[in-house]
Amino acid sequence: MIVKCATAQLKPGMYIANPGLSQSGNPHIYLAEGLVSRAEDAEKIAEAFFDTYIDTEKGTYFIDNKDEKAAFESLFNALVFSGEENKNGSGRGGLDDMLTNFKAAENRYAALLASYREIAQKMMLVKNVDMDASQRLAESIVATEDNLLLALLLVSRMRQYDAYSYTHSLNVSILAAAVGRSLGFSECSQVVLGMAGMFHDVGKILIPDKILKKPGKLSRAEYAEIKRHPAYGREILQRQKNVPADVVGAAHEHHEHVDGGGYPQGLSGNAINPTSSLISILDTFDALRSDRYHREAINSHKAMCVVYSLKGKAFVPDLVDKVVKMAGIFPVGSIVVLKDGTKAIVTEQNPQNLLRPRVRIILDRSNRYCPVQDVDLMLQDPEGPYAIVDTLSNKECRVHVHALVERVQA
């Protein structure tokens, strides 16, 4: 498991992991991935940086220090052992149900993306928003039936599109609507959440492409311009008629942090609109699991670990818990590596312990397809051969969702 820790806690044999963050954007976090070989190395890192991320399944330190491993991983304990379930159960649908609806969800996603692209391209030209079309699009997302919405979440995670600016806003909109549904919000409130996700980055239409698409490190002036996009977004939306206040707020406040360390106003705590706080979490989660001009995507599990590590710092703790319970620590459809070397796909969450989902073994130790085997990790020894030791993206292994769809529908 990837967890955040103070650099003062580093020991020889621990493995430092980079969950996909840039060093320039996180100057106080040590992000050079690799094994800490000597005590002197740990001391030098601690002198220069406050925090880092470690992977408790890699390196040598935790082989003989299992109690410390458990202590580091207890980050999730308050959440995963509570046994509390989502109000509506949304977000914990089984993989087979998702795969049954996958092709319909692909078509649905393509149609939604085409509609949003049309809205966004018009917005780029006239620097204005077609709110009627936008509301209809959000209403269309909210009207999606439960099983298809769950499959839509899977599609948004697994399909690769090159137009990040379009897919990211649509993905955040779908995630926001799904969270709202899982919490039992009214359809009207879900539509507002969907619109807030859709337009949280609207201010970026006033940022030059040469800055937005720059593959290297931004200059101070360029970064300062990027940080103006929340204010630009508020200005654009305030010019429109009948835009919900929460949608305007999300555009302006989605980079504010609960501890006061965000921008543009340095708001903290309850001064940040709850919708803005939720969109902030979903924005970060989807951005981490998406390819960007300056870095590659990380898988959903690692993205969720980063989000959880920022609980109480950047993000409202209660909202983080709700997002994690909806999506899972190992989201359905995630690829996991088991201790015996086999690879499996997560098929269902265990509400009593999100760290031990139900999985389906599909690749053997040699990375070859094998007869499928369904395993409930809640019934297995947590240190045994079926323990999860790593997670992979679809790019990193031979698991293709379309092959799984064909198996289910055969």
Rounded to 10 degrees, the C-alpha dihedral 37/41/42/47 comes to: -170
Band (pLDDT 50/70/90 cuts) for residue 128 is confident
Contact 37, 60 (CB under 8 A): no
Band (pLDDT 50/70/90 cuts) for residue 82 is very low
| β-strand pairing of 358-363 with 343-348 | antiparallel
- The pLDDT of residue 394 is above 80: no
- Tell me: the pLDDT tens digits for 319-328? 999 999 888 8
Q: Give the C-alpha separation, 349 to 187, whole Å.
A: 25
- Tell me: the pLDDT tens digits for 191-217? 999 999 999 999 999 999 899 888 878
Contact 137, 198 (CB under 8 A): yes
In the predicted model, what is the mean pLDDT of residues 243-247? 95
Q: Give the C-alpha separation, 341 to 280, whole Å.
A: 36
In the predicted model, what is the mean pLDDT of residues 236-248? 93
Could you tell me which residues come within 8 angstroms of residue 56 by beta carbon, excluding any fewer than 6 positions away? 1, 2, 3, 62, 69, 72, 73
In the predicted model, what is the mean pLDDT of residues 85-101? 64
Q: Give the C-alpha separation, 33 to 27, whole Å.
A: 15
Q: Give the C-alpha separation, 280 to 270, whole Å.
A: 14
Contact 158, 401 (CB under 8 A): yes
Question: What does the pLDDT read at residue 242?
Answer: 86
Would residue 233 be called left, alpha or beta, if left means φ above 0 and alpha means ψ between -120 and 50 degrees?
A: alpha
Percent of the chain scoring above 70 in pLDDT: 89
- The pLDDT of residue 18 is above 50: yes
- The pLDDT of residue 408 is above 70: no
- The pLDDT of residue 61 is above 60: yes
- Backbone torsions φ then ψ of 5, nearest 5 degrees: -150, 165
Instruction: Please state whether the peptide bond connecting residue 382 to the residue before it is cis, i.e. omega within 30 degrees of 0.
Output: no
- The pLDDT of residue 66 is above 60: yes
Token output for 191:
């539509």
- Tell me: the pLDDT tens digits for 222-234? 999 999 999 999 9
Q: Give the C-alpha separation, 11 to 69, whole Å.
A: 12
- The pLDDT of residue 316 is above 50: yes
**DSSP letter assigned to residue 395:** G
